[in-house]
Structure 1
Amino acid sequence: MDIFATLQEERAQLSPSEQRIADILLNDFDFAVNASIIELAERAEVSPPTVTRFCRRVGCQSFSDFKVQLAKTAYVGVRYLNPEAKSTEPADVASDIITKAQNALFLMHRAIDPGILDRVAERLSKAEMIYAFGSGGNSSMIASEIQNRLFRLGSRVTVSSDHSMQLMMTAAARPTDVIIGSSFSGRNAELVRSFNLAREAGITTIALTQSDSIVARAAELVIGIDLPEGDNIFRPTSTRFAYLALVDVVASLVAYRNRTQSTVTLRHIKQQLVEHRDGDDRQLLGD
């Protein structure tokens, strides 16, 4: 049950007294979730029976049931009840997005461990096959970007965002292969299952994820990404810029380690683009 969705849908049908109760829920959630029926009635300047009728109006059997449903709402995220007010002017929105992206890159750069990057690049550069795993909007995008960066360097790499396929690919992998997974939350239990299976078989596992997470603990090598996001629920996560930059860093390190192979593969790709699409060599390198 989502009490606040009900309020949004039926607000026009609420009486003035009920609307005052609704306003308290939306504007002072902490008070509402901890208040007694008497305290809520006094704050809304209504009688306790009016509060009871309001509770039934939003689909609860009683005030006690209403309090339980409110408590559950806290787990969804109170910040979604009253989103942070931000300017919607295009210049301000652009400044907010770009500043947060720059900040994510700066914080990632400051916290990065060069030793881990070197070990990750070494494993990837020597892998006979690379499996890039990620699920969900951001992590599946990062997994695809890993494939996009590494195939052009001559690496054999495939990608999957399907949990069952990831598990089957892991079961078919060999000790000379590498599995690299992305998880922004670090709570992807299916990725953990694949990592555990891989490590039992002696296969290198690499995670791009939050440092103190179940995914990080399941991986052999971890590139920790721990960045603040802020409270603006409308702004896309700026953390993905840090992930993309890290993929570029790792790919560059792999390219330098496999310089001869990378050079040949990149030249073959560029030759096809020039002959069949561009007509010259002035477009973006490798893309």
Structure 2
Amino acid sequence: MSTPVFERIQDAKKTLRKSEEKVADYILAQASDAVNLPITELAERIGVSEATIVRMCKKIGFRGFHELKINLAIETVKPIQAVHEEISENDEIDVVLGKVMAAVNRTLQSTVDVLSKAELQRAVDSLTEARSIQFYGLGGSGPVALDAAHKFMKIGKPITAYTDSHMQAMAASLVSPADVVVVISHSGSSRDIVDAAALARERGATTIGITHYARSPIDKVIDIKLSTSSYETLYRMESTSSRIAQLAIIDTLFIGVCLRNPEFAVRNILATREAIAPKRF
């Protein structure tokens, strides 16, 4: 995982306890202290235990404080660019456009860095072998689930998307080991989505989660985790960039499945195009 330390901390902040968040905030503000001070002195300055510092380091993907220090030292020897440039109320619309596009680009590149290629391959394998595929998403992830179903319908398997929590629960109760359920949740903390994934897994279905790479409750109920990365700002560019990262993963999975049987995929895609052709002017 090659994501910069500052980005990892920003991404994981929502999942940290208050004491761990104190550590995160201190490192973001005083990176040089984290590099130069022993853990005992750093803990004293922050007002937390050494165990809290180690715990925070592990939550952002390091084995411990020593590994974080090494990575932080490498990054701080070069000029640090702001992790996320906030939109200001004085920004002209072209500046806003530039910042939004920059946020999206950062998110896509960071997602490439944190996304496990092995997990991605496992997901493609599972989707290829599945009897049917269901996509679950709530709130901002709902349109992503619908887009996924729209794409995967073209491969000729039974595909459904559910954006209502009651429908998700009912559908999850009826799946079997031959089915795959893909849950899409940026936070990974939506109770309804977690419950639906848990139920589908209990029924034997393979569960795939497209979610933020920081640890979250959904990790315990999915078989395959496809991680995204994004940043939150005052004007919620996180929701835009995370959604684009989710869509990029969906596209990757769809193409990966199509490449397993190109002739069959192309035949189905052409058939669907012909079916809707009369509906266009």
The interval holding the TM-score normalised by the smaller chain is 0.5 to 0.7
Is 2:120 aligned against 1:110? no
- The residue that corresponds to 2:161 in the other structure is 159
Is 2:257 aligned against 1:254? yes
Q: 1:233/1:181 Cα in 2 relative to 1: closer, same or farther (>3 Å)?
A: closer
Instruction: Give the counterpart of 1:170 among 154, 163, 172.
Output: 172
TM-score for both structures, normalised by structure 2 = 0.64
C-alpha distance in 1 between matches for 2:200 and 2:244: 28
C-alpha distance in 2 between matches for 1:87 and 1:155: 50
C-alpha distance in 1 between matches for 2:237 and 2:252: 29
**Mapping for residues 184-263 of structure 1, pairs under 5 Å:** 184-211=186-213, 212-233=215-236, 237-263=240-266
Instruction: Give the counterpart of 1:141 among 125, 140, 143.
Output: 143
Instruction: Give the counterpart of 1:179 among 157, 181, 184.
Output: 181
C-alpha distance in 2 between matches for 1:239 and 1:229: 10
- The residue that corresponds to 2:60 in the other structure is none
Q: 1:117 corresponds to which letter in structure 2?
A: L
Q: 1:172/1:274 Cα in 2 relative to 1: closer, same or farther (>3 Å)?
A: same
Contact 2:231–2:238 (Cα < 8 Å) also in 1: no
Q: 1:226/1:172 Cα in 2 relative to 1: closer, same or farther (>3 Å)?
A: same
Query: What are the ranges of 5 or more consecutive residues in structure 1 without an aligned counterpart?
Result: 1-82, 279-287
**Mapping for residues 58-73 of structure 1, pairs under 5 Å:** none
Q: 1:235/1:167 Cα in 2 relative to 1: closer, same or farther (>3 Å)?
A: closer
Contact 1:229–1:239 (Cα < 8 Å) also in 2: no
TM-score for both structures, normalised by structure 1 = 0.63
Percent identity over paired residues: 24
Find the residue that maps to 2:226 and give its secondary structure: strand
- The residue that corresponds to 1:124 in the other structure is 127
Number of positions where the alignment pairs a residue of Structure 1 with one of Structure 2:
195
C-alpha distance in 1 between matches for 2:249 and 2:110: 12
Using CA pairs under 8 Å that are at least 6 residues apart, name the structure with larger relative contact order, 1 or 2. 2
Contact 2:136–2:183 (Cα < 8 Å) also in 1: yes
User: Which of these two proteins has the greater Rg computed from alpha carbons?
Assistant: 1
Q: 1:236/1:122 Cα in 2 relative to 1: closer, same or farther (>3 Å)?
A: closer
Give, in angstroms, the shift of residue 234 of structure 1: 7.0
C-alpha distance in 2 between matches for 1:274 and 1:197: 40
C-alpha distance in 2 between matches for 1:196 and 1:148: 25
Q: Deviations over 1:140-190 (max 9, x none)?
A: 011111101101122321011111111111111121011110011111111
Query: What are the ranges of 5 or more consecutive residues in structure 2 without an aligned counterpart?
Result: 1-85
Contact 1:186–1:215 (Cα < 8 Å) also in 2: yes
Report the aligned-residue RMSD.
2.0
Q: 2:257 corresponds to which letter in structure 1?
A: V
Q: 1:91/1:257 Cα in 2 relative to 1: closer, same or farther (>3 Å)?
A: same
